[in-house]
């Protein structure tokens, strides 16, 4: 009798878990491409059917870039990194077009270039820095 009850409980448990529906809007990640050793190269993060984040990795596994996508285009702030993990760039986008703050860095962490885009056009003052952090040049666009 105990065996029969155990089998029935087990069968009901399997049936209940197979009928359970997962939340279609729950965040999930999907590996798009891998490096030859099988480690992830490009990973997309989804919420529902919409991609909301794209991550790309160096072959060493260190994060290369991270940003949001809107209709398949870069949107919002995108950050890129050297293989050492130090920041390389921070660029703002509006549906695939550079718009807003633009910054790049030398591999020692010092700023390299700072400026602003207005829908793909460089505007205002752009500053260029040497590896020591000193201004090398400034241009007004």
Residue 2 banded pLDDT, cuts 50, 70, 90:
very low
Model confidence at 45: pLDDT above 80: yes
Residue 84 banded pLDDT, cuts 50, 70, 90:
very high
Model confidence at 105: pLDDT above 90: yes
The pTM score is 0.78
Residues 98-117, mean pLDDT to the nearest whole number: 97
Compute the distance between CA of residue 63 and CA of residue 71 in angstroms, rounded to an integer.
Answer: 23
- Identify the three-state secondary structure at position 35: coil
Model confidence at 127: pLDDT above 70: yes
Length of the chain: 141
Which pLDDT value is given to residue 71? 87
């Amino acid at each position: 009798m105990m065996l029969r009850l155990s089998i029935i409980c087990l069968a009901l448990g399997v049936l209940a878990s197979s009928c359970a529906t997962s939340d279609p809007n729950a965040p999930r990640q999907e590996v798009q491409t891998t490096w030859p050793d099988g480690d992830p190269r490009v990973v997309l993060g989804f919420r529902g059917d919409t991609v909301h984040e794209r991550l790309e990795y160096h072959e060493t596994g260190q994060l290369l870039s991270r940003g949001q996508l809107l209709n398949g285009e870069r949107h919002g702030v995108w950050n890129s990194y050297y293989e050492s993990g130090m920041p390389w760039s921070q660029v703002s986008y509006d549906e695939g077009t550079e718009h807003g703050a633009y910054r790049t860095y030398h591999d020692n962490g010092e700023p390299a270039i700072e400026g602003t885009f207005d829908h793909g056009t460089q505007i205002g003052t752009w500053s260029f820095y040497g590896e020591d952090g000193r201004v090398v040049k400034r241009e007004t666009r």
